Amino acid sequence: MAHFAQLDDNNVVVNVIVIANEVLLDSEGIEQEQKGIDFCQELLGGKWIQTSYNKSFRANFAGVGCVYDPERDVFITQKPYPSWVLDETTFNYKAPIEKPTSNTDDYFWTWNEDRLEWVKTIVF
């Protein structure tokens, strides 16, 4: 199955659909992204681009709210907090300090934006 993301005028993902791989095949049996784009446009209208569920291209699987950067040809995940910065390798946002690695079944770590720190959260 092939996945395609619909973009708004600001390249923000507004929809993601799945289509059959056969739709992408040209007369020689080779997948062509443009055939998928054309199919999506005929079916639903709008601007479409292919995304990879296993992240084999365009850095991240497109989800609603992600942004497509055409200059870098990648999908960038949503920024969860104002203090987080974009990792230019993964195109995901990271906290300004590393998340602690010690976890048990009794607690997990959550980000506190007001204090700019990871907070241990107890599981009940």
pLDDT, tens digit, 9 for 90 and up, residues 76-113: 999 999 999 999 999 999 999 999 887 666 788 999 99
So what's the pLDDT on residue 123? Answer: 77
What's the whole-number mean pLDDT along residues 1-19?
97
pLDDT, tens digit, 9 for 90 and up, residues 27-54: 999 999 999 999 999 999 999 999 999 9
Distance (Å, rounded) from C-alpha 60 to C-alpha 82? 21
pTM (two decimals): 0.85
Report domain extents, the chain.
Answer: 2-78, 80-124
- What is the DSSP secondary-structure string of 96-122? SSPPP---BTTEEEEEETTTTEEEEEE
pLDDT bracket for residue 21 (50, 70, 90): very high
